[in-house]
Structure 1
């Protein structure tokens, strides 16, 4: 599980552990947060380890998979939730350095993780990438982030077809506005209130809402394959 130390990722780790999965929490730099997630899982009788890795670094990702295989005996589910964003900057003002930073993690990182997952996940397993409802909403200020997630969706759907005959499902989850620190800290209150009122359900999503969708794709959803599931309360 990449991006498992905070927000949606952390809630997903807890949800998968509750379903009986042993979980590797792959994190970029927040060691204390990752260790806290592991402690939370183990305190409830689950199994988890934390591994630091830059998901765009092939060797670091290989090492994370190898550590998982050594610790737990194999890989059945890979959830790639790690990502970065920089909302609010119009395309005409966005620097190429910032564009490259976003695409390095969101596109290259998704490719590296998906490639290793495709090589290692056992039959009956699942690969779950994270997209975003930005690919449908197309709000101004999200050109770099939205284009990166569009690439993730395409990559995910193609990989599902490339794994024909392997009994491995490959899907993407596309959350809408969700009450995480990433969202709340990067948006003014006016925008938060507006987005919270936009879905027919008239609220922001919660990390638990998204974790339920991931758990579905990771476990019982064996006939859902090559799909993007938009978990956004009907906003798009």
Structure 2
């Protein structure tokens, strides 16, 4: 299921400029319709088999917290879901120290997989409070009632990581990219000057039966948690493998 172009374009614009919409007052512009009232939308994903779109809201300092948006694609209705953080982590994420502070959740890349007809497993890169992958269950409801979201656990990345995109892998695994090394004060300059390859440590589209090769990161001196393996070559099929 692909995101309709008009929604993809408009929500991408809101991530960069909220003031642009005050000028046009959210009126259609030719064949293009707009969805207003969303800020800092970093990533979008259409929930398979539904009319709902999930968006991540990137935190932009004090007074502009991060989080998630639920967007009804047929009406343009936008909902900011209240996430339930009251549950304990699933057994698969037992090493997760605690839920994030609800006020300190800065979503970046997101990925969704339907695990039943009415439930999706959501992975979200988080930059606020800790560098991590946060795991959620999103439950769909009949009618136009917005989905509800519960936190299920996390995988905390090493402090050197700058996570960006995340995607589900076959089975229970996932792949995540990092576009910088926080321990290297020259990381940004090296990236801009081309001294560090950014061939694929940023966005990471993966499809079954196709491979992806990227320059490995981080260096072997960085210790990743056991749930996260360092890979330079991916091959997807019924299972995922990396080397």
Give TM-score scaled by structure 2 length: 0.32
Give the structure with higher Rg (CA). Answer: 2
Q: Which has the higher contact order (CA 8 A, sep 6+)?
A: 1
> TM-score scaled by structure 1?
0.32
